[in-house]
Amino acid sequence: MPINRVPWRNVHFYDASTGATLGGFYQKGSMTEATMVWILDNVLLVVEDQWIVRHRSSGRTIRSSSNPVVLGDYDIYSSGTIRVSDEAWFARLISHMIDQSQCLGSRRFRDGVRARDGKCVISGEINEGARWDVWAGFQAAHVFPLEYESLWTQYNNGRWITNMDSAVGISKINSIQNGLLMSESLHTRFDQYLFSTNPDDDYKVITFVPNRWGVDGRILDSICRDPNNPDHVSDDVLRWHFRQSILANMRGAGEPVFETDYPPGTDMMATMRAEPYGRERFEMELESRLRFIPGEG
């Protein structure tokens, strides 16, 4: 069953006037006070009047600074009402069991991301096997998920893509600018929103769960974001993923972390239907399987 994100939080937000819990997150060390204040103001909270946030044990009012967020409880004060944003969050498929190389667009996406990056752009691990075209353990990850192509089209997110201006009649979701090469294990965690990178804070990687991955506070590798390369990853798709990660990990009780290891004989589709967001994920899995029927590229 899906896992709740609350137990490992070491930072918590409260409405000072009511004591109600508003959210929180796990701080490994890379979240700064400036980023936290921006998140509260622009993503998590809807506040009718001016507000301030104070660290409860010290009584210190938090300002926008480069200081790392200190662990503990934070009270938010305002003369107006405070509520948590109801902005939509999108669960995504986690299993990478579908061979996307069977689809021409996804094959080009994969090959283009491999050629541009050549390494895990999160951890910095270089693929020494690339010279022999061996990519075991590395995967080209869509930042904005392929399974939400209909939403991508609905909200005209193709405007974020600048290397396919001549493309007509396609959504551009398989642009290399919507991709990052990363290790297989980090890809799964990326899809679970357990870490993200903030393009508005020097592309810093922030992790939201206790871990020993060695990536918290790292900077997204420059090889994938070189402005002189027309295929550089789009800042806008990175912003989308970072915002979704905030909603998943910091709002209210957080969103579920889904199971990824299904033992042999498990009815994965039935399990998925019984989980939170089950209907949406079931439909996405079904669409994904139909999209990549062998021989139908």
Residues 107, 66, single domain; the answer is: no
pLDDT band at 260 (very low <50, low <70, confident <90, very high): low
Domain that holds residue 75: 11-84
For the chain, the domain total comes to: 2
Residues 165, 47, single domain; the answer is: no
For residue 285, is it within any domain? no
Cα gap 197→190, rounded to integer Å: 10
Last residue of a domain, one of 53, 84, 115: 84
Residues in the chain: 297
pTM to 2 decimals? 0.87
User: Residue 99: pLDDT above 60?
Assistant: no
Q: Are 7 and 233 in contact (CB under 8 A)?
A: no
For residue 50, is it within any domain? yes
- At 137-160, the pLDDT tens digits run 999 999 999 989 989 999 999 999
pLDDT at 5: 92
Residue keyed to tokens 């899995």: 285
Q: What is the mean pLDDT of residues 196-224?
A: 98
For residue 55, is it within any domain? yes
For 144, the 3-state DSSP assignment is: coil
Residues 42, 169, single domain; the answer is: no
Cα gap 36→44, rounded to integer Å: 10
For residue 131, is it within any domain? yes
Where b means 16+ CB within 10 Å and e means fewer, 210-243 reads eeebebbebebbebbbeeeeebbbbebbbbbbbb
- At 234-249, the pLDDT tens digits run 999 999 999 999 999 9
